Structure 1
Amino acid sequence: MAYIEKMFSVSPALPHFDFDAQLRVDLPAGSQISVLGRFEVDGRPVTSSRTMEFITALAAAGGSMSRDGLHHRMYERDVSASTLPTLAYRARKLGIAVHYVAPGRRYVLPEPVAVDALTALALVEAGRPADALLLYQGPCLPECDSPFAVSLRHKVEDRLVRAVLDSGDQELIKVTSRLIDHWELAEPAVTGDDPCSAVLSDSYLRSLGLPPAGRR
């Protein structure tokens, strides 16, 4: 897929995934997939976390991945041969076209999708942490604990937190510390008790549609 220009290969022996691909900020139009803090397709709530993880894994791989690759990323144990076909079927029921290509045994997204977690990474890479933070509604792929989900969750949080800290924007840092539980944001020099910063942060939280601190 065009929105991820390259993806590094992963050794099947290690549950480690590299999301350093050159993500394009000008993502093509397509179905909007939300996996940051909730599961939605084009604004519609989705209850199947595994289906959303399946779609996200395909998107993160550039829209095409082998059956074995998906199995390795999503499961650490043997599963039924019908598991991935069932997830593909459920994705299609959500309006996300998923094809299975027998030669090569690959699952393919024939149409572009925009996954908020990948968009956030793209914005961070483009030097736009504030815009990335606007997309952050909670941990990536909540309730999912596969190697892929855990790796992507940490990647989004680590990259976003580091970009915000590097920006030196104290208001943005304060807001981020309230949205993301991250050890780098727990330092006294980061959290601070400046009442002026608190006022600014409350204002910024309102712009995100979130209640100010102490009112949740």
Structure 2
Amino acid sequence: MEPHPKPTQPALILHTALAGVQTAIRQLGRPSPPQEPLQRLLDQVRSQLEELEHYLSQPGKGGTKTGPKLPPFLQLRLLGSSSVQWGRLSYELRPRFVELLCVLALHPEGLTSEGLALAVWGEGGDPGCAKTELYRLRRWIPLESRPYRLATPVVADFLEVIYLLRQGHPAQALELYKGPLLPRSEAPEVVETRVWLEESLREAVLHSGQRELVWGLAERLGSDLSLWEGALELLPHSDPRRPLATAQINRLKTHW
């Protein structure tokens, strides 16, 4: 018996609607302004759909006596920390499971066991081991196979940052960027994405020419010489932060 059966028709409609809202937001290229981050909007949408599901589950309201079961929404917070929430349940999963979820979120089209083994374990990774880990992971998160992929809508902080950068919104991207992607992970694709994401954010912020953005990212990353130099160049001579920027630049140059 499958651990996560397919939803009945009313629930499937809600499931599809939620995924469609995500897609529409991305395609419209209109992320929420800084004071109302995109994640907050998606949380509101999810809450509204949960209320609608409850309404439909009531007798005489278009549902059934028992009510349809809406597949939970997977939420990944992997920038600077590791948080996995499925529906209203928060899980403290093993690092390997979190790495698998991260890679699967990066590949909504799915991956073969060989592709997952390479992405998570690297050269010499065993596809059989990948299959075993995925089988165990299905106890908590719904997965499909052939190819392996997530069988639930996903909101991930790193995916939102990638989207915002591609749309040319460095301020919103910086607001969501809480730190490196799974900083302790050595999974090849996680490492590659982590480095690419940080470099992309740095270049976007520097290119923006907005001193508060450059200063904010310089503080967040701490040891990026180009950001501190960029911040110093943008700060007015009267700005009290100039001595701090100068000290950081001197410290970093000394350690080179």
TM-score (norm: length of structure 1): 0.68
The aligned counterpart of 2:102 is: 56
CA distance in structure 1 between the partners assigned to 2:177 and 2:91 by the alignment: 17
Structure-2 change in CA distance of 1:49 and 1:184 (3 Å): farther
The aligned counterpart of 1:182 is: 224
The 5-angstrom pairing of residues 86-165 of structure 1 reads 86-94=132-140, 96-101=141-146, 106-165=147-206
Shift of 1:49: 1.8
Structure-2 change in CA distance of 1:74 and 1:191 (3 Å): farther
CA distance in structure 2 between the partners assigned to 1:197 and 1:158 by the alignment: 28
**Which amino acid letter does the alignment assign opposite residue 108 of structure 1?**
R
Q: Which has the larger radius of gyration?
A: 2
Structure-2 change in CA distance of 1:197 and 1:136 (3 Å): farther
Shift of 1:63: 4.3
Shift of 1:51: 1.0
Higher RCO (CA-CA < 8 Å; seq separation 6+): 1
Gaps of 5+ in 2: 1-18, 32-37, 47-72, 243-256
CA distance in structure 2 between the partners assigned to 1:154 and 1:85 by the alignment: 27
Shift of 1:162: 0.9
**Which amino acid letter does the alignment assign opposite residue 215 of structure 2?**
K
Shift of 1:81: 5.6
CA distance in structure 2 between the partners assigned to 1:183 and 1:88 by the alignment: 41
Equivalenced residues, count:
175
Shift of 1:77: 4.8
* Secondary structure of the corresponding residue to residue 80 of structure 2: coil
Gaps of 5+ in 1: 5-22, 200-216
**Which amino acid letter does the alignment assign opposite residue 99 of structure 1?**
E
Shift of 1:87: 3.1
**Which amino acid letter does the alignment assign opposite residue 37 of structure 1?**
G
Greater shift, 126-135 or 78-87, is seen at: 78-87
- Percentage of matched positions with identical amino acids: 27
What is the aligned-residue RMSD (CA, Å)?
3.0
Tell me the alpha carbon deviations over residues 3-44 of structure 1, each in whole angstroms, 9 at most, x when there is no partner: 79xxxxxxxxxxxxxxxxxx7567986321011011101383
Q: Does 1:36 align with 2:79?
A: yes
